[in-house]
Every structure is written in structure tokens, then in C-alpha cells.
Structure 1
Amino acid sequence: MEETGGIQQGYIDLKQLYSERALYFTRQVKIVSTRLIRGGWLRLLFFVLLFAAPLYVLNYSAIAAVLLFVGFAVTFGILVKRSIAYRKLKAELVLLKMLNENEEKVLEGDFSSFDSGSEFIDPQHDYSHDLDLFGEGSFFQYINRTSTLVGTCTLKNKLCAPHTDLERIVGEQKAIKELSEKIDFRQHFFAKGKMLNETKNDIDRINSFKTYKPFVKSKGRLFGSLLIAMPILFLCAVIFSFWELPSAVPVIIFLINLLLVGLNLKEINRINGQFSSLTGILQKYALLINLIAKENFSTIKLSDLQTRLLAENTEAAQIIATLSKYMSQFDQRNSMLMGVVLNGCLLWDYRYVNKIELWLEKYGGDIDKWIEVVHEIDALNSMGGYSFNHPDFVMPVPCTDMVLKASHLGHPLLDRKDRVCNDYDLKDSIFSLITGANMSGKSTFLRAVGLNLVVARCGMPVCARSMYFKPMSLITNMRTSDSLMKNESYFFAELKRLQYVISQLKYGKDVFIILDEILKGTNSKDKTYGSMELIKHLLSLNAYGMIATHDLELGVLEEQTKGKIVNRCFEVENTGNELHFDYLLQAGITQNHNATFLMKRMGIIVTE
């Protein structure tokens, strides 16, 4: 893409912004580190004073010694709590510093520090393998700023199954544009998300509660009534024992309560561990949920996502805090002495199992919804960051009356200083036949068109000055390979792919097809005839798209189809025994070749 002064200055300003933010967070890390060191010395001092001061004044005043011990203990506890908060803050600041440093590198063309999504490579997918969506140096790695495992999968799904509905694309565009302008929100979300250390087990444990069967309710109404009656009976017995009631009565009730708990102790311990796991996971997500809930969003999509974090007009983070409070109180049982006293007096275990089960019954169905919002925002943040990092890219216009019209369309992963962009307009035709010499730019152009179509359907800005497109399914065939495991030849694998393309068209779907050098596995004459027949069949099925080929004989199809197929080409010039590529798309069929020339230059063939 041609660099004007304004575009170049935009990228300079962007790089300076990241540099300044990286420097700011570096300074903040140093400040917090200093406070941590000072706090460490203070904790040591108060720990010594916790014992030394009371011992020193004990001979003068026991009350003063107790007050000093309590005072220093409380202060020491506050210092420990503050130290934990500072450590979390430092970890977040370090992540923010690294993120901004990495964003600087991205602007210089190095995005290797981000997850590549190699696990998502799928040669059978309609287009992702051909367009290099996943893997090292991929588009996914280029835009990926997700910080949760499922958020990463959500971003992958957006790229592999983007929208075809115009309204949803426009809604996504607005949300991405709004998030692109919220750099603080995006970056703090990323840092807090990374601090979660989310694992697959976390998601599995949350999902396990979908089939959870209430323990207290399963015991029947009589048991529930007993849980209310026995603590009240115990308290009444204690009160009346100061008058005429024998003191043995509250003791007997106390022991009965312990027996009731003991009968189900193994099950209660299991439930305690299960609830503790759920609470810990939700507490981690609550940080991100709270961040989303507190942000001011104006677009419909983001506002709707924010609304989903409410249940009965109460914020999800607050609801999770209630669960955390219940769990903290339930865990008082873990002290043997407290467990005996609390259960003997109040049937404490049953009381809090019941409270948490009622919480789960009321809000358990919302947990999935809350987590989905977090993962959706996580994916959208990456897309917003991509938009922010490309001030010269434009939001494409989805429409129904134009298949594809683009001005200065280029490949987003190519260096903007070297990127050559092309205008492309199908106009009244439905297929383009693209010819050109080797290395002239055919395959890169096909990938640029394919990738920008995917990006457009995702709601992100495209690498172009303007673009109008009709949202439809995309199928490519550019990188077919043979399979020894399946005992398939290259040619048979390609035929299977083409068969799949035809089957999708027969369903009546609108499909944009990109094919690169079809029928490579057969002889020239057979290949030409087969290619002609295939293209005619595609036209009969109302397919849209483009085919790159070296078969110049196919150029006659423009006339035969009365303009439904148009010829476009990339040319190469041989001047002064040197090849010159301009990578510009032109009308017509290529007139130049370079295979023999290159083979001579490299010493592969020798001619007299």
C-alpha cells in the first residue's frame, strides 16, 4: 500500500504511544517493587515487635502487653494483605509493560511473541489452511491478544465461521470499532486474563455443575425441617439450662447434632472440595467480569453483553462475591475445634451446604452465560486491537448488489512499505481468470482477496482504501496435498476437494471460490479440457470467484461466456537479462513467461 505522509505519521504516532506506555509501566513496576521491599522490612520489624514489645512491658502491665500484641498483630496482618495486593499489581504491571513492548515489535513486523494457534491448523477446512490463518507467522498470531483458553478458541471460531448476515456484520463492526478506541480497557483485560492462569480443568469443573444434584434437598422436607429445628432447640436448651432444665439436655442435643453431621461427613467433605473449586474459579473470572461491568459501552452488541452480566438487576461480580462469602464461612469447619463447636451448636456444614446449593439453584444457569461474555469480549479485544494497529485500514461495506469491489486491496501481513495493492471489481462478471508468470503475484493476490473477505465478514477493517462485498461462504483450493496414510495421490485429493466445492454449490448456497492452478496432477491436454469443463460447470451453478492458472488456452472462456468470465493477469518484464515484477493486476491474458529463464539463471538447465 502506498505510504502517504499522513499514513506514515499515523504509524509513527502509534509506535510512540506503545513506547510511552511501555516506559510508563516500567516506571510503575519499579515504584511497586520499591514499595514491596520497604513493606518486607516493615513486616519483619512488626513481626519482631509482635513478640518483643509485649514481653518488654509484661512486667509493668499485662493489659498493655495484650493491647500491644493485638495492635502489632493487626498491623502485621494489614501489611501482609497489602503485600499480596502489591504483588498482584506488580504482576499486572509487568504484563502490561511486556504487552506494549511486544506491540512495538508487531509494528516492526515481529509478532512471534504471541500464540500462533498451531493447534487449529486444519487442511480440511474450507479456507483456513490455504489462507495461512493459523500457525507460525499466521494471521491468527498477528491479531491474537486473547488471554483465556476459551477466548482463544472463540477467536478461532470467529475466523473459521464468520457471519454472512449483513446486520450481524455491521453490529460486529461497531463493537470492534468501539473496543479499538479503548486501549486501557483492552490491555488491562489482557493482563488480568493472563493472571487467571485458566486451565482446561477450570472449564471442565464449571461444566460438571450442570449435572449437580442437590444434597440437602435430596434428603427430603423432614430433614430440611430438622436442620432448622435442631439449632433452635439447642439454643433454647442452653438458655433454659440456667433455670430448671438439666444441663445434660443441651449436651445431648450438641452430641446429636454432631452425630447428624458425622453420618454424612464423607459426602460433606466431597461437596466442600467441589464448591471450593467452583468458588476459586469464579473468583478468578470475577476480576474480568467486574472490569466489563464497570466499562461504559455505547454499541448495541457490547451493551447487550454487559447486560448479560446481570441477574435480577444484580451484577454477576456481586453475586459471585456472595458465593465467596458463603464458601469462606463454610470453610470455618476446616479448623477441627471450630468444626466441632459450629456443627454441634448450629449444624454448620448442613447450613452452608444448603445456602450454596440454593445459590447454585438460583444462579447456576447464569454461570455459563457470564463465562461466555468474558470469552466473547476476550476475542473481540483482539479484533479491536487489530483495528487500532491499522489506522489506514477501512471498514468494508457489506451489501447485496455487489459481489466484490475493492480499491487498493492488499495483504495485511505484508510490510506496508513493500506491499503492492490492486483495484479489483467483478462488475457484471462472476468469475476472474488470472494468468501470469511464476512469482508474478498471482497466489499472493488470491490470498489477499480471500483473507480480506474473511476479515470483512468478521467485522474487522480490511487492507484497502475501500471495499464493498457480498457476504457469502468462501471455499479455496490452493494447497492440496497427497496422503500416504490414506493412500491418496495428489490428483485424487484435489478431485475430492473439487467434488466438495460442487456439492456446496448444489445446496444452493452463495459461495465465493478461489482456485489456484487446478488439475496440476494430470497432462497438459487433459488438464486444459478438464479445467474448461469444470469452470463451465461452476458457472452453471452460479458460483463466484477467481481461478489462477498457467493454462493460457482458458482465456477464450471470456468470449465464450460473454463476459461472465473476465481475464486478468500479472506481467513480468525481462530487461537487461533481469526480471522486473510490478505485481499490478492488469486486464487480459499474460504475454510473458519466465520459467525457462529462471532455470537457466540457476544452472538447472544448460542451453547452447
Structure 2
Amino acid sequence: MSQNSSSSTSSCEAARARYTDHLAGIDAELQTHQATDSRMGTLRVGLFFLFVIGLGFALSTQQPFWAAIAGGGFLAFLVVVVRNETVREKVEVLQNRSRTLRRLSRRLDRDWKSLSSDSIGASTSPQSENSILQLDDRQKALAGDLDLLGDSSLFQFVSMAATTPGRRTLADWLTQPVLAAVAKQRHAAVTALAPARDERIRFYTLARDVGSSTGDPDSFVDWASSESWLPARRWLLTWGRLTAVVAVAAILGLVFATLSQDRDLTRITFFALIAIAVVNLSLAAMMLGPVAQIFSVAIASRSSVDDYAELFDAARLLPENSLASLDAGHELPVGEPKADVGSSIRSCLLGSDSDQKDSASKAMRELAGIAKAATLKHSAATFLLYLPLQAFGLWDVEVLRRLEDWKQRHGDQAQRWFQALGELEALLSLAAVRDEYPDWVSPQWLSSSDADSTLVCEGLGHPLLPDSARVCNDVSIGPTGTLLLVTGSNMSGKSTMLRSLGLNVSLAMAGGPVCCRAMQLPPVEMATSIRVSDDLSQGVSFYMAELNRLAAVVQHARELAAKPDRRLLFLLDEILQGTNSRERQIAVTRVLGMLIDNGAIGAITTHDLELADEPELLKVANTVHFRETITPDASGDERMTFDYKMRTGVSPTTNALRLLEMVGLGEEKS
């Protein structure tokens, strides 16, 4: 389906204009701060040289004037360093915000190449799917057939998720079946989040910042549930506190000795300080390597911890109870939790209204205070403070003690916090689609008790195609006991129609809007056979691979036949091509009969017109077709075009031989 749409304007033009205007303002501000950063960098170098020159003259001439110049230059240097770091932090924030807006804009343009190269990687390669997204076999098959994950996929289009829990949750929602009531709850939350544009962009930017840091949430959760490092080495804490007391006493003694001009006491206190520093820095070098590693996992940076606290606070954007929007026919079944998606996330991340002392947000702000102490050494402005604290009191050990106390109080809740954050991030990703595409509609879920189990889509479009290239069709599948048989020539749009349907059902289950004028959807689970390949490493031929996939689809239908609250939706594309025509017709009819006998509904495509005439299929099939048009061009050669419009009945045309001729493989004329 790559023909121009008849719609005059794109439904997302307003969003594109907002992003463009916002980007222009950010880029202008970014240029200003980058120029300031450059000037401050030059000033820092100048002040440092002033300090060095003043110090040199002060030592050589013993003149107070040069000592004052050195001291003033050094103080000015520190002030500029602190100010410059603030400017650089602002530059980094603006750059992250700019990248976030560019990603939002590129999604609207379906600029898949740029989206794939995005540093956060909202696409998921097959290699990362297994390690990060944790998909089962059914999810992998569905994702591969429907372009749910990977490059140029629904995930890549929808996702603004940057953290591992967010990406994992969104991928799971797009590939897993869900109860209609839960899908409605998600959609209610998505709809509530859509208008909060500034807050959403702020969230995406913060998530991108922490997603690109070394503080991976999975590693943090592993640390939070692991044994503490310090209890077996408590003597380090005692030693650090003892040396801190001795160092303070030595410093006071050194001051007193200097004032009283007691040279013996001066030497004793001075060498005592040197000895403490040497011992403590040696201990740090030899024993505190694991502590640094713990810091890199638990508090990768002070800004990351602050960002997580703010990300958790974003749960306030969720409605307190989206269950109120559910009609009585879509209540959760007996045994299902009665707390809806939005209120569950709010409760987990913010705590209850009456008691927020255990909220994730409050705990993360407490952790931010510890992170501030732990990251003194990472800042040029505070390193000179960190060095004596570490040398004379084993500062890292004291910080670790505070960190492990925090873990003792909150560690068992960390996994639940990040699961809730992942759900919030998935909802906010879908909220961007809801806001950007006002013409896309809310799916209407049928009750499992409804007699009519027909899936009806008015104006069904492929969500991964831009508005200008999308051709929409009315599609109806069901009721139980029937199937949709889609016939047509090669390249006419049959497979694209199947994927359009599957992608929109996935969007509906995840809680998003659907690319239709209207959609009526019974509770279903999807199973597909669209892209199947052989596996030589396992000795599996293409035909056997297809049979294995179809067996899995039939087994799925049998499992759901025993569940009154849902049925299977199957999408099969040109199946069983690896055998002769007559056996194929018998086999296909048998497979479809098994699916229908188990209450499944679905669609199958074929360009084999003999299959469409199979008597057993004629009894249950609603047949439609796509066609091509062949017209001569200016030179008299035939030109094949497709309108990608679905029509009733069996396809009246075929085009395999003409396509052979078009690529130079036609019959040679003598």
C-alpha cells in the first residue's frame, strides 16, 4: 500500500509544527550556552596561569602582593570552574532535549534510518530482544511476522522509552495478549496523559539521560537484593572514624604549634597527618575497588538519581482511578486484581495519600543525598574537598555505610519500583501517539459474552506508513465459524492488509489508539504465519518450518477453545507453498477446518485461485480481493499499477507472467 492517500492534510501536521518550533528555540538557546562555555573555558585557562605565575613570584620574592595575586587567581579559578560546570550541565540538558524532540519529529516522518541510529536505540535488534526484552517463542513469532519489533517496526514508531524496564514493558505489551478490561484501563491512562505535552517531553528527556548513563536499572535491582559488602569489613568503618578524630586533633595541634612556634610539635603533627593519609589512601587503593563498583551501579551519578526521583514523580500525571471509565460489561473477571493500571503505578511510586514515607520518589530523593556525598570526587569543584576527607577519614567507607543502610530499608521494593516505572514509560510512549494522531480512534472492545464475535475495522490503515502513502480499507473478520479469504495478484496488498490488521490489534491491546475510523474488537489472542524460514542448522526445511508454525497456531486455538473469555485471531499468509497445488489445497482446508472448529476467527491470503474455489472453503469464507491495473505508457510498453483497495469476490486477475516480463524473464520471441 504505497499509493498517495486522498486525505488533503496529515493528521499529525500540528504536532510536527510544535516540534519544529520547539526545536528552533532550543537550538538558539543551545548556541548561546555553548558560546558562554567557550568563553569560560578560555577564562579558566587564563586564571590558572595567573595563579601559577603569582605563586611562582610569591615563592621567589616573598612579596605579599604576589601571594595575594596567587590566592585571588586561585579563588577566581574555582568560582569560574563551578559556574562553567553549571553551564555545561545546561548544555547537556538542552542537547538531550533536542535529541528527544528530533526523535519525536522523525517518528512522524517515518524516518526509519535516523530512528535506527538513535543513540538510545528505540529499535531492538534480534540480538538484544533475547537479552533485554525476554520474549517467549510465541512473542518472537508474532513480532517477526507483524513487524512489531526491530527496525521499521511498531515498537520503533511508538517507543519513547529509554530505560530497560520501559523498553521491556512496551515490547511485552505490543506482543502479549491482554484482557479487554486491562487494555481499556491502559487506554484510559494513555488518553489522560496525552494532553500533558510539556511534562511528557520532560519525562522523555530525563529517561533518555538516565538510559544513556551507566546506572542500569537491572543492575541496580540486583545490587538492592544482594548481600551488603560492609558488614564483613566493619573494621574499615571503625578505622576511618578513628583516623578522622586523630587527623582533626593533629590539625588542631599543628595550628597551635605554628602559633606557639613549637617546632617539635609541628613535626610530630605534620608527620602524623602524612602517615594517616598514606595509610588511608593505600587502604583505598587496595581494598575499596569493590566500593567504587558499588557506587557505579547504585548511584552512577548524582544527576541520574535526581532524574529517577523526578521520573517517579511523573506518576502524578496518571488518573487516580481509570476503572470509573469502564462500563459494567467490562469489569475484571473474578480473581483479577481490582486496582487499575494507573492507580497501581501511582500507589507504587508515590505511596498512598495518607502515607508517602515509603514512596519510591521520597526514597530516591534520600538516595540523591547519599549520591551527592559519593560523587564529590567526580567534580572539579569538589575534588579538593573529597581528597582530604578520603585521606583522613576514608570518606568512601562512610558513604557506603549510608548507602547500605538505605538498601536495608528500601532494597526489597526496588524491583517493584522499576516495574512500575517501565509501565509508566510505556503509557507515556503511547500517549505521544494519542496526542499526535487525533484522527486515530479508540478501539471499542466487545464483551466476551457478546454473541457477535466479529472484528470490524472501518478505514483500516497501516500505522507504519506515512499519512500520504496510506490506503485504508474496511475489513471485517468473523463471526465464529467463518474466515476472511483474501485473494489477489502478487504485490497487490494482501500481506500488507494482514499486517495492518495485526499491528492495529497490537496497538489496541497495548492501550494505544488505532489507525482506523472505527474499530470493534472482541477479546482475542493473535497467532500468525506470515514470515517463515527454514533452519538448516536444525535440518528443518521451509515446508516443515511452515508445518511447525501452523501446528503452533492450531494448538493455540485449542488452548483458547476452553476459555470462554477470548478466542484466537489467526492471520495466515500464502501458507504451505512448499508442496504441489492439490495437496496444498487439501492441507490448507484441513488446517482452516481445525481452526474454525476450535472457535477461531481470522484471515488467510492466497494468489492460488483454485484454492478459492475449494468447496469446503466456499462454505465458510467471505472472499475479497486486491487487483492491479495494466495500462500502456507513452512508449507502448505495459505499466502495472495497484490501488490497494479491497473489493468483494475472488480476484479476476493474475500477474505472475507479466511480472516476469517486466524484469526481463519473459518468453523470448523468435
With normalisation by structure 2, the TM-score equals 0.74
After superposition, the Cα gap between the structure-2 partners of 1:372 and 1:164, relative to the gap in structure 1 and judged at 3 Å, is closer
Question: What is the match of residue 290 of structure 1?
Answer: 309
Asked whether 1:134 is paired with 2:149, we answer: yes
Q: Work out the CA distance in 2 between the residues paired with 1:493 and 1:200.
A: 41
Q: 2:554·2:591 contact (CA, 8 Å) conserved in 1? A: no
After superposition, the Cα gap between the structure-2 partners of 1:507 and 1:282, relative to the gap in structure 1 and judged at 3 Å, is farther
Q: Which amino acid aligns with 1:305?
A: I
Q: 1:149·1:198 contact (CA, 8 Å) conserved in 2? A: no
1:485 is displaced (CA, Å) by: 1.5
Q: Which amino acid aligns with 2:652?
A: Q
Q: How does 1:369-518 map to 2 (within 5 A)?
A: 369-400=416-447, 401=450, 402-426=453-477, 428-429=479-480, 430-508=482-560, 510-518=567-575
Asked whether 1:321 is paired with 2:368, we answer: yes
After superposition, the Cα gap between the structure-2 partners of 1:497 and 1:359, relative to the gap in structure 1 and judged at 3 Å, is same
Q: Work out the CA distance in 2 between the residues paired with 1:506 and 1:216.
A: 55
Asked whether 1:355 is paired with 2:405, we answer: no
Question: What is the match of residue 537 of structure 1?
Answer: 594
1:139 is displaced (CA, Å) by: 2.7
Q: Which amino acid aligns with 2:349?
A: L
CA deviations on 1:78-122 (whole Å, 9 max, x unpaired) are 321221121122123233334434544444442321133223579
Q: Work out the CA distance in 1 between the residues paired with 2:237 and 2:78.
A: 41
Asked whether 1:151 is paired with 2:162, we answer: no
After superposition, the Cα gap between the structure-2 partners of 1:351 and 1:51, relative to the gap in structure 1 and judged at 3 Å, is closer
Question: What is the match of residue 177 of structure 1?
Answer: 191
Question: What is the match of residue 167 of structure 1?
Answer: 181
Q: 1:456·1:462 contact (CA, 8 Å) conserved in 2? A: yes
CA deviations on 1:319-377 (whole Å, 9 max, x unpaired) are 1123225536899999786556437xxxx776554433222211222333444444444
Asked whether 1:570 is paired with 2:626, we answer: yes
SS in structure 1 of the partner of residue 666 of structure 2: coil
SS in structure 2 of the partner of residue 479 of structure 1: coil
CA deviations on 1:219-277 (whole Å, 9 max, x unpaired) are 79xx8998999799989x99xx9xxxxx9xxx9xx9xx99x999997885245324432
Asked whether 1:309 is paired with 2:349, we answer: yes
Q: Work out the CA distance in 1 between the residues paired with 2:150 and 2:236.
A: 56
Q: Work out the CA distance in 1 between the residues paired with 2:402 and 2:215.
A: 25
After superposition, the Cα gap between the structure-2 partners of 1:364 and 1:469, relative to the gap in structure 1 and judged at 3 Å, is same
Question: What is the match of residue 31 of structure 1?
Answer: 32
After superposing the two structures, state which structure 1 stretch, 204-213 or 322-331, moved more. Answer: 322-331
After superposing the two structures, state which structure 1 stretch, 391-400 or 540-549, moved more. Answer: 391-400
Q: Work out the CA distance in 1 between the residues paired with 2:238 and 2:215.
A: 37
After superposition, the Cα gap between the structure-2 partners of 1:283 and 1:372, relative to the gap in structure 1 and judged at 3 Å, is farther
Q: How does 1:521-532 map to 2 (within 5 A)?
A: 521-532=578-589
Question: What is the match of residue 299 of structure 1?
Answer: 319
In structure 1, which of residues 499, 503, 520 is the aligned counterpart of residue 577 of structure 2? 520
SS in structure 1 of the partner of residue 458 of structure 2: strand
CA deviations on 1:290-323 (whole Å, 9 max, x unpaired) are 3324545142445643543355356233111232
Question: What is the match of residue 564 of structure 2?
Answer: none
SS in structure 2 of the partner of residue 388 of structure 1: helix
Q: Work out the CA distance in 1 between the residues paired with 2:241 and 2:538.
A: 70
Q: Work out the CA distance in 1 between the residues paired with 2:363 and 2:223.
A: 17
Q: Work out the CA distance in 1 between the residues paired with 2:237 and 2:33.
A: 54
Q: Any stretches of 5+ residues in structure 1 without a counterpart?
A: 242-246
1:474 is displaced (CA, Å) by: 0.8
After superposition, the Cα gap between the structure-2 partners of 1:197 and 1:480, relative to the gap in structure 1 and judged at 3 Å, is closer
Q: Which amino acid aligns with 1:168?
A: V
Asked whether 1:191 is paired with 2:205, we answer: yes
After superposition, the Cα gap between the structure-2 partners of 1:355 and 1:336, relative to the gap in structure 1 and judged at 3 Å, is same
Indicate the RMSD between aligned Cα atoms, in angstroms: 4.4
Q: 1:403·1:426 contact (CA, 8 Å) conserved in 2? A: yes
Q: 1:292·1:306 contact (CA, 8 Å) conserved in 2? A: no
Q: Work out the CA distance in 2 between the residues paired with 1:216 and 1:525.
A: 74
SS in structure 1 of the partner of residue 317 of structure 2: coil
Q: How many residue pairs get matched?
A: 588
Q: 2:440·2:517 contact (CA, 8 Å) conserved in 1? A: yes
Question: What is the match of residue 85 of structure 1?
Answer: 86
1:515 is displaced (CA, Å) by: 0.6
CA deviations on 1:398-457 (whole Å, 9 max, x unpaired) are 222344111100111223223221112235354211222222221111111111111111
Q: Which amino acid aligns with 1:588?
A: G
Question: What is the match of residue 549 of structure 1?
Answer: 606
Q: Which amino acid aligns with 2:125?
A: S
Q: Any stretches of 5+ residues in structure 2 without a counterpart?
A: 117-122, 131-136, 254-264, 321-340, 351-356, 562-566, 633-637
CA deviations on 1:129-173 (whole Å, 9 max, x unpaired) are 111223333333333333334533333222222x42122212221
Q: Work out the CA distance in 2 between the residues paired with 1:73 and 1:376.
A: 50
Q: 2:228·2:404 contact (CA, 8 Å) conserved in 1? A: yes
Q: Work out the CA distance in 1 between the residues paired with 2:458 and 2:162.
A: 35
CA deviations on 1:467-508 (whole Å, 9 max, x unpaired) are 111232211101212222222221111111111112222223
1:191 is displaced (CA, Å) by: 3.4
Q: 2:244·2:392 contact (CA, 8 Å) conserved in 1? A: no
With normalisation by structure 1, the TM-score equals 0.81
After superposition, the Cα gap between the structure-2 partners of 1:538 and 1:278, relative to the gap in structure 1 and judged at 3 Å, is closer
After superposition, the Cα gap between the structure-2 partners of 1:483 and 1:41, relative to the gap in structure 1 and judged at 3 Å, is closer
Q: How does 1:221-300 map to 2 (within 5 A)?
A: 269-281=288-300, 283-295=302-314, 296-300=316-320
After superposing the two structures, state which structure 1 stretch, 264-273 or 100-109, moved more. Answer: 264-273
Q: 2:457·2:516 contact (CA, 8 Å) conserved in 1? A: yes
After superposition, the Cα gap between the structure-2 partners of 1:197 and 1:595, relative to the gap in structure 1 and judged at 3 Å, is closer
SS in structure 2 of the partner of residue 212 of structure 1: coil
SS in structure 2 of the partner of residue 385 of structure 1: helix
Asked whether 1:365 is paired with 2:412, we answer: yes
After superposing the two structures, state which structure 1 stretch, 367-376 or 399-408, moved more. Answer: 367-376
SS in structure 2 of the partner of residue 508 of structure 1: helix
Q: 1:428·1:564 contact (CA, 8 Å) conserved in 2? A: no
After superposition, the Cα gap between the structure-2 partners of 1:306 and 1:439, relative to the gap in structure 1 and judged at 3 Å, is same
Percent identity of paired positions between Structure 1 and Structure 2 = 24
Q: Work out the CA distance in 2 between the residues paired with 1:399 and 1:604.
A: 50
Q: Work out the CA distance in 2 between the residues paired with 1:35 and 1:325.
A: 26
Q: Work out the CA distance in 2 between the residues paired with 1:46 and 1:266.
A: 33
CA deviations on 1:547-588 (whole Å, 9 max, x unpaired) are 11234444467x858964322222345566654533222222
Q: Work out the CA distance in 2 between the residues paired with 1:149 and 1:170.
A: 25
SS in structure 2 of the partner of residue 181 of structure 1: coil
SS in structure 2 of the partner of residue 16 of structure 1: helix
Q: 1:289·1:374 contact (CA, 8 Å) conserved in 2? A: no
After superposing the two structures, state which structure 1 stretch, 208-217 or 530-539, moved more. Answer: 208-217
Q: 2:142·2:528 contact (CA, 8 Å) conserved in 1? A: yes
Q: Which amino acid aligns with 1:568?
A: V
1:591 is displaced (CA, Å) by: 2.6
Q: 1:432·1:545 contact (CA, 8 Å) conserved in 2? A: yes
SS in structure 1 of the partner of residue 526 of structure 2: strand
